Structure 1
């Protein structure tokens, strides 16, 4: 089995490469997506060659937002701004018991 500490959150890493989507918004939006139904942002991590689905709830992302009604764009930007914190929380959650998917909520950030 691969080392759990090898997890790399690719969506967060690639978001550092600033691109523009067709609408002109900065960021690589293809690497992560907003799920309005479940109120979370999905991104992908890797443990060696194994893909790990990762999710972070909007409650976590909204902590730093001043907007009353943030939407997809604001949540994706918040994910980029909180990259280091989210990456650390994802590694801790994955290392504690490597699941098929990692779901990060407020309890992962205390």
Structure 2
């Protein structure tokens, strides 16, 4: 099945320096982490705290979901970490 995103929640994970959101492959929940460095490559706005990272994620959510689908098709698993390399 294809990765889909019915749940619009997201959160900042300071330990991973990532924004976490969830995708689903059928009944399987996939935890997806977008590293803040990847977000920084997608925007020219300076970002330095949780609020700005989440706002950047919200503004690029559709694009990030597309990158997550592409990365997931190459490396399936219960956890997916999107890096700057996945975004370029």
**Is the CA contact (8 Å cut-off) linking 1:53 and 1:100 kept in structure 2?**
yes
- Report what 1:48 is aligned to: 26
Which segments of 5 or more consecutive residues in structure 2 lack a partner in the other structure?
Answer: none
Deviation at 1:7, TM superposition (A): 0.9
Match among 39, 45, 61 for residue 66 of structure 1: 45
Q: Which runs of 4+ in 1 moved over 2 A?
A: none
Which segments of 5 or more consecutive residues in structure 1 lack a partner in the other structure?
Answer: 15-30
- Relative contact order, higher structure (CA 8 A, sep 6+): 2
**Is the CA contact (8 Å cut-off) linking 1:89 and 1:109 kept in structure 2?**
yes
Give the root-mean-square deviation of aligned CA atoms.
Answer: 1.5
Question: For this pair of structures, how many residues does the alignment match?
Answer: 87
TM-score (norm 2): 0.87
- Report what 2:55 is aligned to: 77
Structure having the higher Rg: 1
1:106/1:80 CA distance change after superposition, 3 Å:
same
**Is the CA contact (8 Å cut-off) linking 1:65 and 1:78 kept in structure 2?**
no
Q: In 2, distance between residues paired with 1:49 and 1:82?
A: 25
**What are the within-5 Å matches in structure 2 for residues 85-96 of structure 1?**
85-96=63-74
Higher strand share: 2
Match among 9, 15, 24 for residue 5 of structure 2: 9
